[in-house]
Amino acid sequence: MSTYSMKDIEWAKINKDVLASLESPRALFWVVLAVCALLVLCGVAAEVYQYNEGLGVAPMDRPHFWQLYISNFVFWIGMSHSGTLLSAILLLTKADWRKPIYRFAEAMTLFSILTAAIFPVIHLGRVWNMYWVLPYPNERGIWPNFRSPLLWDAAAITTYATRSALFLSVGMSPALAICQDNARGWRKKLYTALSMGWMGRASEWMAFRKTYVLIACFLVPLAVSVHSIVASDFAMSIMPDWHITSFPPYFVAGALYSGCAAIITLFVMLRYLFKFEAYMTTEIMDKTAKLTFAIAMVWNFLNLGEYASIWYSNDMFEKEVLLQKFFGPYAPVVWGMLICATVAPFAMAFEKFRHNMWAMFWLSLVLQLGMWLERFQIVSPPLASNHEPWTWAVVWPGTVQLTLTAASFGWFTMLFLIFCKVFPSVSMYEVKEMVFHRRHASSRAEMEDIGKIKDEVVRSEEGLA
Chain positions contacting other proteins, by CB under 8 A: 53-57, 59-66, 120, 123-127, 129-130, 132-133, 141-145, 147-151, 154, 233, 236-239, 383, 386-391, 393, 395
Instruction: Tell me whether residue 22 or residue 70 sits nearer to other proteins (CB atom).
Output: 70
**If you count them, how many residues does the chain have?**
465
Q: Please report how close the Cβ of residue 117 comes to other proteins at its closest, in angstroms.
A: 15
Say how many C-beta atoms besides its own lie within 10 A of residue 11's C-beta.
Answer: 13
**Sign, CA torsion 371/266/428/351:** positive
Short-list 310, 257, 345, 313, CA closest to 78: 257
Q: Please report how close the Cβ of residue 431 comes to other proteins at its closest, in angstroms.
A: 44
Separation between Cα atoms, residue 334 and residue 385, nearest integer Å: 15
Q: Please report how close the Cβ of residue 122 comes to other proteins at its closest, in angstroms.
A: 11
Cα 179 to Cα 54, 195, 302, 372, 406: the distances in Å are 47, 9, 45, 37, 34
3-state helix/strand/coil string of 219-287: HHHHHHHHHHHHHHHHHCCCCCCCCCCCHHHHHHHHHHHHHHHHHHHHHHHHHHHCCCCCCCCHHHHHH
Cα 189 to Cα 12, 92, 154, 186, 196: the distances in Å are 23, 33, 34, 5, 11
Q: Collapse the DSSP code of 453 into the 3-class scheme (helix H, G, I; strand E, B; otherwise coil) and give the result.
A: helix
Q: Please report how close the Cβ of residue 231 comes to other proteins at its closest, in angstroms.
A: 14
Instruction: Tell me whether residue 121 or residue 304 sits nearer to other proteins (CB atom).
Output: 121
Angle between helix axes 399-422 and 68-84 (nearest 10 degrees) is: 20
Instruction: Tell me whether residue 61 or residue 456 sits nearer to other proteins (CB atom).
Output: 61
Say how many C-beta atoms besides its own lie within 10 A of residue 262's C-beta.
Answer: 29
Q: Please report how close the Cβ of residue 390 comes to other proteins at its closest, in angstroms.
A: 4
Q: Please report how close the Cβ of residue 74 comes to other proteins at its closest, in angstroms.
A: 14
Separation between Cα atoms, residue 221 and residue 110, nearest integer Å: 17
Q: Please report how close the Cβ of residue 247 comes to other proteins at its closest, in angstroms.
A: 15
Separation between Cα atoms, residue 106 and residue 80, nearest integer Å: 8
Q: Please report how close the Cβ of residue 333 comes to other proteins at its closest, in angstroms.
A: 19
CA 307, distance to chain mean position in Å, is 27
Instruction: Tell me whether residue 148 or residue 313 sits nearer to other proteins (CB atom).
Output: 148
Q: Please report how close the Cβ of residue 68 comes to other proteins at its closest, in angstroms.
A: 14
Instruction: Tell me whether residue 66 or residue 205 sits nearer to other proteins (CB atom).
Output: 66
| Cβ within 8 Å of residue 270, ≥6 positions away | 104, 276, 280, 420, 425
Separation between Cα atoms, residue 3 and residue 284, nearest integer Å: 9
Instruction: Tell me whether residue 71 or residue 109 sits nearer to other proteins (CB atom).
Output: 71
Instruction: Tell me whether residue 144 or residue 328 sits nearer to other proteins (CB atom).
Output: 144
Instruction: Tell me whether residue 294 or residue 395 sits nearer to other proteins (CB atom).
Output: 395
Instruction: Tell me whether residue 154 or residue 296 sits nearer to other proteins (CB atom).
Output: 154
Q: Please report how close the Cβ of residue 226 comes to other proteins at its closest, in angstroms.
A: 17
Q: Are the beta carbons of 187 and 264 closer than 8 angstroms?
A: no
Short-list 150, 80, 149, CA closest to 115: 80
Instruction: Tell me whether residue 169 or residue 391 sits nearer to other proteins (CB atom).
Output: 391
Separation between Cα atoms, residue 314 and residue 86, nearest integer Å: 40
